[in-house]
Amino acid sequence: MILLGADHGGVGLKDAIKNYLEQNHIACKDFGTFDTESVDYVPIASKVAHGVANGEGEFGILCCGTGIGMSMAANKVQGVRAAVCSDPYCVEMTRRHNNANVLCMGGRVIDEQKAVEFVKIFLSTGFEGGRHQRRVDQIAAVERGEL
């Protein structure tokens, strides 16, 4: 299950991603927003991030104007590793090296076609583990106040 969320600045990307997921029979849940009326992004990011952290969804995808606000809010939830990406290389590497579980993108930064391309990369790229696992474990230690 892929959990989706966007504010007014990212709703177009979210809708294109949702369409792609549904056409490819990939289960998703949409936490809104559903139009371009101005909304606060933090409650939407929180719903998606908590859903990923508690296992409701394997991955989250969040879109706002830049992706930055969504990533900042999502990363406040323990167990979430949200990355804002604006190029394919960063999307691939955040999965391979950081085991990111939430992809954040900006509707004022990339277009819908690129967003769908990035989702394909994100969902098809695995975590390499190895030395990278130690670093992901250190991120969790920071969350717990141990590092």
Cite the active site residues. 64, 97
How far apart are alpha carbons 48 and 95 in whole angstroms? 18
CB within 8 Å of 82: residues ≥ 6 apart:
49, 60, 62, 70, 71, 74, 75, 100, 101, 102, 103, 104
For 108, other C-beta atoms within 10 Å of its C-beta total 11
